[in-house]
Structure 1
Amino acid sequence: MASNRSSMKHHVVCLPIPTQSHISAMLKLAKLLHHRGLCITFVNTEFNHRRMLDAEGPMFLSDLPFGLQFVAIPDGLPPSQANATQDIVSLCESTRFLMGAPFCTLIGDLNEMAGSGSGLIPPVSCIMADGFMTFCAYPASETFGIPVVNLWTIAACALMGLMHYPKLKEKGLTPPKDYLETTIEWIPGMKNMKLRDMPRFPGATDPDDVVFNFMVDAAARYNKADATIIHTFEALEPDVLNAMSSMASGPVYAVGPFHFLIDRILENEKQMRHIGCSLWKEDVECLRWLDSQKPESVLYINFGSVAFLTSQQLIEFAMGIANSKHPFLWIIRADLVNGDSAILPPEFNEKTKGRAFIVAWCPQEKVLNHPSVRGFLTHCGWNSVTESMSAGVPMLCWPYFSDQQTNCKYACKDWEVGLEIESDVKRDEVERLVKELMEGEKGKHMKKRAMEWKRLAYEATSQHGSSSMNLEKLVRHIISK
């Protein structure tokens, strides 16, 4: 049993980058490692720890199984009571310059507690760091002699794209806005790529852009990890994964989808399965509304935790969705419209009366697996893409920034489960694509393909599937250190 105290001889500290999707993916992996008998310390920032307590309720910390604890460290940013993702530029600077010292202090404190004679929690034996948190993790690793295992919660194809940005610069292909249709054939494991399909950033035309340089510098540290985990599965990205394995100094493990592994492995461990990590309160009324809808009739819309719309983009999406005449469940965060309130036009409310359900946040996995849901309009974040494909749900893709553009290309062209919406949103195009997704021939083909990927993801997480075997290899690797 995972909670057997005597079996916990290895202590993994999990350090996600402080945004919702990365926290969610890291916690799922932490649960899987705890199930294998590893002691887990999960590190949030004080800002996100407060939000998690608000969303999940403070009692969830009092009912944790032995060997799993949540701790918080300061992020160095000004105090805030906002219920929203912090400014991305500030988070990048915090991660690079401000969080390393408190994280080092935390590792020292954990080791001191382990040496105090209690014998309950062992010294830290591994740092499991998000690939974008190496600026904090590597100094602690060097100080205490602890190996770092990196978890990349983005697709292998997106990571490979980030790693080749310096070569784009060498070839004179930056800034990318001038060369979007340029074909790129020299990235290992990636085919039929254009510059428009590479990870993109709003400020990438500026060589000093904070977010762009942060992402590229983090990806450049890929081969320094003792081992690497990528949240994917081998059948989905075989060529890129083979190329990435040859470029790493340690083993590379494709492990995913995490939620399939959770469902299989923790089937009888209700206490572990229900430990949440949402930073927003999840509305469950939407599930009851879905119960009242016809099978495969509803469009689910969610732009994730970081993407923003302009007021005009919101209106164009809204009217396109309204004009499609399909029922829909739309997640509209309070901060979805950057710097303004998300106000929908009166005409939209009149047109959609009786077939719309709008909430601020929801349990996405349950929504996508609901029999009433037919399609997903998404920003193409990697968690959303994997959850949608694992549910057999095809997508309309409106990538916002970063890895989402690469995810979109693969979803639409390689995996054949998506249709792309142009970044310059127009209501007529939105209406046309919603209808195609929900009732057209392309939509039927994408549904068939999504169901095939669902089957392959299920096979990968079966007892002898590639992801299950890679998870076992990962555990053995951590224990061997």
Structure 2
Amino acid sequence: MGDSNQKLHAIMISFPFQGHITPFVHLAIKLASKGFTITFVHTEFIHHQITKSQPHKTIEPQVFSEARKSGLDIRYTTITDGLPLEFDRSSNMKQYWDSIMQVFPTHIDEFVNNMVKSHPLSAFFLVTDTLYAWPATIAKKYNFVIVSFWTQPALIFTLYYHLDLLIKNGHFASNDNRMDTIAYIPGVKAIEPKDLTSTLQETDTTTLVHRVTFKAFEEVKKADIVICNTVEELESETISALHQKSPIYAIGPIFPPRFTKSTVGTSLRAASDCTEWLNTKPHGSVLYVAFGSLVRISEHDMAEIAHGLLLSEANFIWVLRPGTIGSDGTNILPVGFEDSIKDRGMIVPWCNQIEVLSHSAVGGFLTHCGWNSLFESIWFGVPLICFPFAYDQITNRKLVVNDWKIGINLRDEKSITRGEVGEKINLLMRGTKSDELRKEMNRVKKTLENALATDGSSEKNFKQFIKNVKELMRKRNGLSI
């Protein structure tokens, strides 16, 4: 690989879930805009889901077609995850992830081998999701530089990175985990056990999620570079401490070009258009209620949210899957609910979240606290009601409510009540508390805007990350870059 005419070529492979795919796609476009050739890899199953959701069925996600029209060198391909397309992955998650962990890497190896042979003038490097457990093996075999992309906050990365400290101090992997404040993780002043990810709060550490996480964070310590979808000013102490362990760059939030005008989505579902309805509502009067595609709300919580919306004074859009029924087969929404909300409520199966949050009528967001949703809400200055369910969502809530003070908490572990839901909706949407939240939200929004400015921290870090990749490629492969 000593040819000075070789072009830097990133092979990018995201984790096959919506919250990971979205920033990965936008990162691919940003890298391509800096002159890199990109080959973006989806599993065949994810490709099938995306193409089903697009109004015009195409052989690739529309976002890449649009990028190429702008002259970007993005190629797209698919690889089997080891299971037939018709296999029901959602109902057989263990078998699905066994295939992702054990079979999928073999197909990746075959694909990379073919890429290397068929593109002799390309100098390849890998950009893969941190949660994959195979990148270091592939990178070593082909002498690739490996970039690990962490799509969640740096706080969660460092908690997993220091699992040994949590275990040593009895806060994790114990039959009776300690419940006192954790104040020994580098770069983390203090965190309560209730604010750890759900994975770190469980006592059974033999689950599939635990196995994936443990293996991934053994592997990430072999990565050449880690990039993180966060903002340095929002997690400065954590990022600074991680720098002592590994080259890590806070380059977030990873948004698409022309973000506020973007209509080209990356969603796995077809979206409803809410604009016409929103245009009829007063400024800041609408609460947007939406939870992630993997979130499973209990019958009790669903019913209490519905009653709480009725009790509140807010207009609302509720993203609710079709056929929402209870375990006994009956509709769990209140009798006459849809008739009662005709003047002030809209129920849709899915929507373009950016279009909704950017609309002037939207003044609040009841969310599960997915990381992408939080950044989108901040960008458009929409304060939050936090209703986390599992995984990173719980720790994300801690950042929103305790650290940044741009949202209010709906629950910790206790069950929610309709009275509490209605009360907190009204608290978020109007009055003194609402004014305080909006003031803090404007401050955090300004931090994001500054980070993404030409001389902002995220842009500077992105440039340094690219420089670091080129230096490593030059040293490892003898390139004149």
TM-score for the superposition, normalised by structure 1 = 0.88
SS of structure 1 residue aligned to 2:76: strand
Post-superposition offset of 1:256: 1.3
Q: Could you say if the C-alpha distance between residues 233 and 336 of structure 1 is closer, same or farther in structure 2, counting changes exceeding 3 Å? A: farther
| Residue aligning to 2:116 | 111
Written as runs of structure 1 = structure 2, the 5 A alignment for 1:308-387 is 308-334=296-322, 343-387=332-376
| Residue aligning to 2:381 | 392
Q: Could you say if the C-alpha distance between residues 391 and 275 of structure 1 is closer, same or farther in structure 2, counting changes exceeding 3 Å? A: closer
| Residue aligning to 1:459 | 450
Moved over 6 A (4+): 335-342
Q: Could you say if the C-alpha distance between residues 471 and 195 of structure 1 is closer, same or farther in structure 2, counting changes exceeding 3 Å? A: same
| Alignment partners' CA distance in 2, 1:25 and 1:146 | 23
Cα offsets for 1:350-375 (capped at 9, x unmatched): 43221111111111122111111111
Post-superposition offset of 1:405: 0.9
SS of structure 1 residue aligned to 2:307: helix
**Out of 70, 79, 86, which is 1:80 matched to?**
86
Post-superposition offset of 1:211: 0.7
Cα offsets for 1:139-193 (capped at 9, x unmatched): 2212211111011000001112222334323322346896575211111222331
Post-superposition offset of 1:257: 1.3
| Residue aligning to 1:436 | 427
Post-superposition offset of 1:230: 0.4
| Alignment partners' CA distance in 2, 1:126 and 1:335 | 45
Q: Could you say if the C-alpha distance between residues 334 and 349 of structure 1 is closer, same or farther in structure 2, counting changes exceeding 3 Å? A: closer
Q: Which amino acid aligns with 1:155?
A: P
Post-superposition offset of 1:223: 2.5
| Residue aligning to 1:213 | 211
**Range with bigger deviation, 331-340 or 407-416:** 331-340
**Identical counterparts, % of pairs:** 29
Q: Residue 103 of structure 1 contacts residue 136 of structure 1 at CA under 8 Å; is this kept in 2?
A: no
Written as runs of structure 1 = structure 2, the 5 A alignment for 1:227-306 is 227-248=225-246, 251-259=247-255, 262-263=257-258, 276-284=265-273, 286-306=274-294
Q: Could you say if the C-alpha distance between residues 109 and 78 of structure 1 is closer, same or farther in structure 2, counting changes exceeding 3 Å? A: same
Q: Could you say if the C-alpha distance between residues 237 and 101 of structure 1 is closer, same or farther in structure 2, counting changes exceeding 3 Å? A: same
| Alignment partners' CA distance in 2, 1:70 and 1:358 | 35
Aligned CA RMSD, in angstroms, stands at 2.7
Q: Which amino acid aligns with 2:294?
A: V
Q: Residue 100 of structure 1 contacts residue 139 of structure 1 at CA under 8 Å; is this kept in 2?
A: no
Q: Could you say if the C-alpha distance between residues 200 and 274 of structure 1 is closer, same or farther in structure 2, counting changes exceeding 3 Å? A: same
Gaps of 5+ in 2: 474-481
Q: Could you say if the C-alpha distance between residues 282 and 333 of structure 1 is closer, same or farther in structure 2, counting changes exceeding 3 Å? A: same
Q: Residue 308 of structure 1 contacts residue 337 of structure 1 at CA under 8 Å; is this kept in 2?
A: no
Q: Residue 183 of structure 1 contacts residue 195 of structure 1 at CA under 8 Å; is this kept in 2?
A: yes
**Range with bigger deviation, 207-216 or 330-339:** 330-339
| Alignment partners' CA distance in 2, 1:142 and 1:231 | 25
Q: Residue 177 of structure 2 contacts residue 203 of structure 2 at CA under 8 Å; is this kept in 1?
A: no
**Range with bigger deviation, 27-36 or 57-66:** 57-66
**Out of 59, 63, 75, which is 1:69 matched to?**
75
SS of structure 2 residue aligned to 1:375: strand
| Alignment partners' CA distance in 1, 2:84 and 2:323 | 19
| Residue aligning to 1:151 | 149
Q: Residue 452 of structure 2 contacts residue 458 of structure 2 at CA under 8 Å; is this kept in 1?
A: yes
| Residue aligning to 2:478 | none
| Alignment partners' CA distance in 2, 1:7 and 1:21 | 36
| Alignment partners' CA distance in 1, 2:79 and 2:59 | 19
| Alignment partners' CA distance in 2, 1:252 and 1:170 | 25
Post-superposition offset of 1:90: 4.5
| Residue aligning to 2:125 | 126
Gaps of 5+ in 1: 1-5, 116-121
| Alignment partners' CA distance in 2, 1:160 and 1:207 | 18
| Alignment partners' CA distance in 2, 1:21 and 1:101 | 25
- Count of aligned positions: 458
Q: Residue 330 of structure 1 contacts residue 357 of structure 1 at CA under 8 Å; is this kept in 2?
A: yes
Q: Which amino acid aligns with 2:82?
A: G
TM-score for the superposition, normalised by structure 2 = 0.88
